Amino acid sequence: MVTITINGKKMQVEEGTTILKAAAAAGMPVPSLCYLKEINEIGACRVCVVEVKGVARLVTACNNLVQNGMEILTNSPRVRQARRTNVELILSQHNSSCTSCVRGGNCSLQRIANDLGIYASEYTKVIPKKHWPVSFPLIRDSSRCIKCMRCLQICDKVQDLHVWDIAKTGSRATVGVSHNLQITEADCAICGQCLTHCPTGALRERDDTLKLLSAQGAFADPEKVTIVQVAPAVRAAWGEELGLTREEATPKRLVAALKALGFDYVFDTDFGADLTIMEEGSEFLERLNHRDDYKFPMFTSCCPGWVRFLKSQYPEMTGQLSTAKSPHQMQGAVTKTYIAEKFGIDADRIFNISIMPCIAKKQEAEIPNINDSGHGRDVDLVLTTREIARMIRADHLDVKNLAEEEFDDPFGTGSGAGVIFGATGGVMEAALRSCYYLVTGKNPYPDAFYMVRGMEGWKEACFDINGITLHVAVVSGLGNARKLIRAIQNGEVQYDFVEVMACPGGCVGGGGQPIHDGEELAEERGENLYFLDRSNDLRFSHENPKILQIYEEFLEKPLSHMAHELLHTDHHG
Ligand code: HC1
Ligand code: SF4
């Protein structure tokens, strides 16, 4: 332990503690902007400067450690002046038109400038924007970039993809796509992790809400029947954007809000997740039965960020992906076929919308050979959790006081196994629950496979099902995926089945989820999904009565010809 003084208060802290951490522990937190715990501790913004007695220069608190006897001042006149000047200098290179910025009201720079009482900066000038392809789901507005380097560090250290790099030098230094590539040519997985860790509006998703809301949008077209589906992870986070408590932000209240917005039918992607388990679980058992014909492990295929990663980094392993489409794509395909027929709606009138915690889903829905219904795109539009929250706010819906409503039949019924898809380990657990049944004819204890839960980036487990030993692994975060693949290639590990999610913690931590700068909420949101699983009378995908019904009435059985036509893909294209 070392003894230090902060603003005259003596305290003891562990050796090796940063000044930032020590000040926070003392109840005198230092403001910061570029800092991101264990990922970006470079003092680039110099907002966290403090005065240390005996040191001539002000020092940055985020990357300087306390030393025994150190006397620190976090709010001396000199510190206050320097902090203000540093923020003014950042603003001098920042496009501060906050009213037309998606992060207005949720921007760390805006908050800090406001706290410091900076209403106009003498340095401010017009910042030109660089060209960016507007069709890409991830949009970068260079005029709002403050060169904090968080995007670069997240992509390097967490996702191990190195899409961003520093371009130019000195005062002209900025962030750009590595090797001077266009973003469309880089190996970006579109996970959106750089976006959710950007403190300003320099990175955002392509906003697609006008495709519904404009005068030419689907809501205005009397011919269109709008059918929306809600991803598992969205229900754990949508209320955060609207100031709702967990108790208020129930899935059924989200249904009521979506109905109030004008959607004709509200379906649950949990149904699609159950369908995925039926197909993917059966495919896995089929591969096990013909072991010599396949390479193992089989990888899950529901996360489009992960699929993009594998196809760009390890194309030779594409055949190891399950051919099962992701749940929302399966559901889109059967909505335009089975539901169209069942409801007596011309399939060409159906406009399918998916609300997802993800921006890679916007690109997934555009892949030509993932669309098999024969009626245009199977999913016509993908909106993120943030976009749907903006739509709710724009209509000033008093969500808290809306009476809860049920999802629509028949795709409104999902099992607890379906809902945990949204958390890391959930797809594996759901698959194992049903594989156990398919092999033994009996249900396991629903929580029998709990070992694959939790936030650890790389988990492994071994299960015995009727004499078959299964080695499984679950990873989240693409950096962990790369480590796992290298270990497989080096023969250090061997697995039968591996679940990969691009975002740390799974979809709950997705790139389309609400942003709380510096706070990671994936774990808390995941616990919410496990709570919903426990509260559901239905814990197994294979017991979902609506799943049994669609096989009986339409798909026949898992892996049938029809199932292959509509629910599987070879991942080419
Ligand atoms: Fe996901 Fe999935 S779980 S990929 O994370 O398989 O996005 O929630 O909708 O499709 O079900 C995301 C979440 C989501 C799909 C499902
Ligand atoms: Fe990197 Fe993901 Fe951002 Fe693409 S979206 S640049 S892969 S962090």
Please give the Cα distance from 421 to 8 (Å, whole number): 51
Please give the Cα distance from 168 to 344 (Å, whole number): 60
Task: From the CA of 303, give the closest atom in ligand 1.
Answer: 4
192 lines ligand 2 (CB under 6 A): yes
pLDDT in tens, 280-332: 999 999 999 999 999 999 999 999 999 999 999 999 999 999 999 999 999 99
Give the SS3 label for residue 224. coil
Please give the Cα distance from 243 to 444 (Å, whole number): 39
pLDDT of residue 124: 64
The residue to which tokens 């993120």 are assigned: 384
**Which ligand has the nearest atom to the CA of 329?**
1
Residues 427-443: what's their mean pLDDT?
Answer: 97
Ligand 1 center to 539 CA (angstroms)? 18
Q: Dihedral through CA 156, CA 162, CA 163, CA 167, nearest 10? A: 100
Please tell me whether the peptide bond between 29 and the residue prior to it is cis, using omega within 30 degrees of 0.
no
178 lines ligand 2 (CB under 6 A): no
Give the SS3 label for residue 501. strand
Ligand 1 center to 427 CA (angstroms)? 9
Look at residue 550 and tell me whether its pLDDT is greater than 70. yes
The residue to which tokens 């649950």 are assigned: 268
Atom 1 of ligand 2, residue of closest alpha carbon: 155
DSSP letter for each residue of 433-476: HHHHHHHHSSPPPTTTTGGG-SS-SEEEEEEEETTEEEEEEEEE
Q: Given ligand 2 and candidates 140, 190, 364, which is best to mutate, with the most ligand atoms within 8 Å of its CB? A: 190
Tokens encoding 377: 């795109």
Q: Given ligand 1 and candidates 280, 303, 507, which is best to mutate, with the most ligand atoms within 8 Å of its CB? A: 507
pLDDT in tens, 350-409: 999 999 999 999 999 999 999 999 999 999 999 999 999 999 999 999 999 999 999 999
Ligand 1 center to 272 CA (angstroms)? 9
Residues 158-174: what's their mean pLDDT?
Answer: 89
Please give the Cα distance from 478 to 157 (Å, whole number): 10
Look at residue 126 and tell me whether its pLDDT is greater than 80. no
pLDDT of residue 123: 65
138 lines ligand 2 (CB under 6 A): yes
Ligand 2 center to 108 CA (angstroms)? 21
Please give the Cα distance from 425 to 476 (Å, whole number): 9
Residues 14-37: what's their mean pLDDT?
Answer: 96
Give the β-pairing of 9-13 and 2-6: antiparallel
The residue to which tokens 């496979």 are assigned: 449
Residue 545, classified by CB atoms within 10 Å of its CB into exposed (0-12), middle (13-18) or buried (19+), is exposed
Which residue ranges have their beta carbon within 6 Å of ligand 1? 231-233, 269, 272-273, 302-303, 326-328, 356-358, 361, 421-422, 506-507, 510
Residue in 488, 492, 524 with CA at minimum distance from that of residue 505? 524
Task: From the CA of 502, give the closest atom in ligand 2.
Answer: 2
pLDDT in tens, 481-532: 999 999 999 999 999 999 999 999 999 999 999 999 979 999 999 999 999 9
- Are 416 and 539 spatial neighbours (Cβ–Cβ below 8 Å)? yes
**Which ligand has the nearest atom to the CA of 419?**
1
Give the β-pairing of 298-299 and 497-501: parallel
Residues 464-476: what's their mean pLDDT?
Answer: 96
Look at residue 433 and tell me whether its pLDDT is greater than 90. yes
Atom 11 of ligand 1, residue of closest alpha carbon: 273
DSSP state of 97: -
Ligand 1 center to 80 CA (angstroms)? 46
Phi and psi for 550 in degrees, rounded to 5?
-70, -30
Ligand 2 center to 192 CA (angstroms)? 6
- Are 257 and 392 spatial neighbours (Cβ–Cβ below 8 Å)? yes
Give the SS3 label for residue 564. helix
Give the β-pairing of 350-356 and 225-230: parallel
Query: Rounded to 5 degrees, what angle do the CA atoms 191, 197, 203 make?
Result: 70
503 lines ligand 2 (CB under 6 A): no
Residues 551-573: what's their mean pLDDT?
Answer: 96
Percent of the chain whose predicted confidence (pLDDT) is above 70: 99
Q: What is the mean pLDDT of the chain?
A: 96
155 lines ligand 2 (CB under 6 A): yes
**Which ligand has the nearest atom to the CA of 190?**
2
Please give the Cα distance from 87 to 108 (Å, whole number): 11
DSSP letter for each residue of 254-284: HHHHHHHHT-SEEEEHHHHHHHHHHHHHHHH
Please tell me whether the peptide bond between 446 and the residue prior to it is cis, using omega within 30 degrees of 0.
no
Ligand 2 center to 491 CA (angstroms)? 29
Look at residue 448 and tell me whether its pLDDT is greater than 90. yes
Q: Dihedral through CA 62, CA 65, CA 67, CA 69, nearest 10? A: 10
**Which ligand has the nearest atom to the CA of 181?**
2
Tokens encoding 546: 């609506």
Greatest CA span in the chain, whole angstroms?
A: 80
DSSP state of 234: G
The residue to which tokens 């950042």 are assigned: 90
